[in-house]
Chains A and B, each alone.
Chain A
Amino acid sequence: MWEYAPAPESRDIANLKPNYRMFVDGKFVEGTGEPLKTINPATEEVLAEVSTASASDVDNAVKAARRAYDRVWSKMPGSERAKYIYRIARQIQERARELAVLESLDNGKPIKESRDVDVPTAAAHFFYHAGWADKLSYAGYGPDPKPLGVAGQVIPWNFPLLMAAWKIAPALACGNTVVLKPAETTPLTALVLADIIQQCDLPPGVVNIIPGAGDVGATLVEHPDVNKVAFTGSTDVGKIIQRQLAGTNKKLTLELGGKAANIVFDDAPLDQAVEGIVNGIFFNQGHVCCAGSRLLVQESVADELLEKLQTRIQTLRVGDPLDKNTDVGAINSGEQLAKIKELTESGEAEGAQRWTSSCPLPDKGFFFAPTVFSNVSQAMRIAREEIFGPVLSVLTFRTPDEAVAKANNTPYGLSAGVWTEKGSRILWMAQRMRAGVVWSNTFNRFDPAAPFGGYQESGFGREGGRTGLEAYLDV
């Protein structure tokens, strides 16, 4: 084993301020809701105080978005909208380091992930959608597809900046204006994005960002002058929103939970598969809706794979998110940590065999050591429920048909993985997976050009690609 000296990224780069305010109508203003304190989940220290939106603030934000839509944004040629969105992409690239450090501080994810995935992908998302703004007539929705109006968007805490990008970029490209609510525990990078949007001289009101808890999100999606609701988060909340919007004309897209099967056949290159499995479940502490949380291994290679997997997982470094060598950072909140603990305890109680990495954990903060359950049956809660943490459940299968049946035995349907050397089998499996994304001999790949989204209770609508534009067009 290599020993690594600490290699911490400087926290000063985050340019952290003691107070953050909401962004409405082109200005940073004090919200009249109860201010929230956002903490660093790796230390449990307060990072900053953030003002939140009251119901009247939500109303003001929607009004600002409506004004901007009616007076400016819906009338502007796509080619001009495009140049604003390109500016945002460039500014994210320019301030990438600041955003990455701030994201790791507020969210707890390892700096190497925020630096190499979250921030560059967010910039790419704006860059990609900027190009669509003046090409919508080529997207396959008719000669001159129209925007919807004001989009109310609610995003989760697992990829705070990236989810903001996934929501804002297509909305603006299609000509909508936006009111976005970042997650309660991770509001900071969205507010730096607001600063970027202000510096890019976007017309006031085109993008409004209002921090707060779930009640703010509920007020936003219920607002009568919102035309489009986009939500990423838990399936439970998604169902509530779908009920709330019943009987209205609001267009809805939902990107919800998942319980992805990652399927390894006996002919798969096992070392490569091990890397993919590790990436699939421990990337971002497993706080990924499309995480490969159910490993389905062909029986003949199960023991060998499990041994290799444990050896590999044992080398993962868990700890300071700002350390450039950290593989697994902090669990985002005490609440989430409690949920992970509760579900893992159920796994043990229901008779699955638990193995947990003996890696050292920091004394402070919310941490959970990488854990693998074997001898898992399909009826167990750890095989059915989304854990949203660094916990892998291992099941076995004998035939391809059994793998398909087990993989699809879930109300979710966001993603799946298939590991085999046989191309024909990859495509045969992909055809049978009831999932919106199928990764073959890889996992957790995201690109603005590739549509992402779920089947069944993982939600509906897609983000990214030509398909993703539909969510923000009146078509």
Chain B
Amino acid sequence: MSDRVSVAKTYKLYIGGAFPRSESGRSYPVTDSKGGFLANAAQGSRKDARDAVAAARKAFPGWSGATAYNRGQVLYRVAEVLEGRREQFITEVAASEGVPVKKAQSLVDAAIDRWVWYAGWTDKIAAVLGSSNPVAGPYFSFSTPEPTGVVAVLAPQQSSLLGLVSVIAPVIASGNTCVVITSQDRPLPAITLSEVLATSDVPGGVVNIITGRTAEIAPWLASHGDVNALDLTGAPESLRADLERSAAGTVKRVLRDKAGEDFTVTPDMSRLRAYLETKTVWHPMGV
């Protein structure tokens, strides 16, 4: 053992590509599965959530307007950078989730591969879900999927990295931007993931990550006028119906998570489809 004293990391929020502390000045202690102290995490506030929505909205035109090929390259880059920090994530996931190192390895590997899976989807979604419509008239009609907009994601409470990646990647693959409330008790891998996102050519504001009390922040996102969709995966059971009711105020698309979703299984397209609009275009044909 070296005598050197290590430098402890300050875990902050990730909003608009920057790493601010909570504007509220609050933080809360994060412990491992046995109750040992790991770090203090920023305790995000309503104002932080609103700032994050503004950042996500600002990033939306650029990200949704990028070519699907470009988005695919960026998502693949996330996998590359994540692979490079594999050991760090194994340590954090093992500490956060209280799983053996071997299990943590497989969770981190699956998280890396999940980015690769969604990287490959970006330029195939339209080919699978789009159509040319054989309408009964002299018109060329086609339908294409387009991103819904700003998505508020309540990340799974248990799966601190793989679950988190599994809910973020499908949102941004198709061109949406998002505000994510991390697992309340296991937030540290999420903040480290934001460091990966920040160095992977993901434009600032495309993914915004807030740590804190889910029950405190989620209602503000559910009722926020500039949020277009809400993923309830990590919502407290007692709040789900209320959050859905709030979401109705601006007709948000709500993803009710499947009970006990197993994130280790390769996903289908359902999380991609959840945040897509279909646009149908008509154009006359004739000389």
Contact = CB atoms under 8 A, between A and B. Distances in A.
Interface in B115-150: 116-117, 119-124, 127-128, 140
User: Contact size class for A?
Assistant: 20 to 34
A132 B266 contact: no
Nearest to A265: B287
A131 B124 contact: yes
B178 to A, nearest CB: 22
Interface stretch (A50-58, A122-130, A405-413): A122-130
Contacts of B285: 424, 427-428, 431
A18 interface: no
B283 interface: yes
Contacts, number: 69
Contacts of A139: 128
Nearest to A134: B117
Contacts of B36: none
B83 to A, nearest CB: 10
Interface in B54-69: 68-69
A466 B124 contact: yes
B120 A138 contact: no
A86 B116 contact: yes
Interface string A464-475: 011000000000
A466 B128 contact: yes
B124 A79 contact: no
A200 B287 CA distance: 52
Given A79-B117, A138-B128, A449-B123, A427 B287 contact: no
Most A C-beta atoms less than 10 A away, residue of B113, B128, B286 = B286
Contacts of A128: 69, 72, 123
Interface string A392-407: 0000000010000000
Contact of A427 (B72, B121, B283): B283
Contacts of B68: 449
Nearest to B68: A449
Given A79-B266, A465-B127, A135 B116 contact: no
B35 interface: no
Contact of B116 (A82, A427, A448): A82
A140 B128 CA distance: 8
A83 interface: yes
A400 B269 contact: no
A447 B73 CA distance: 15
B243 to A, nearest CB: 31
A425 B286 contact: yes
A142 interface: no
A400 to B, nearest CB: 5
Given A79-B117, A138-B128, A131 B123 contact: yes
A360 interface: no
B127 to A, nearest CB: 4
Contact of A132 (B69, B116, B120, B286): B120
Given A79-B113, A134-B117, A466-B128, A424 B284 contact: yes
B129 to A, nearest CB: 9
Nearest to B122: A131
Contacts of A400: 287
Contact of B120 (A135, A140, A424, A427): A135
B76 interface: yes
A436 to B, nearest CB: 16
Interface in B29-85: 68-69, 72-73, 76
The 8 lowest CB-CB distance pairs between A and B, nearest first, are A131-B120, A427-B285, A424-B284, A466-B127, A400-B287, A427-B140, A424-B286, A428-B285
13 contacts: A82-B116, A82-B120, A86-B76, A86-B116, A131-B119, A131-B121, A131-B124, A135-B120, A139-B128, A424-B285, A427-B285, A449-B68, A466-B128
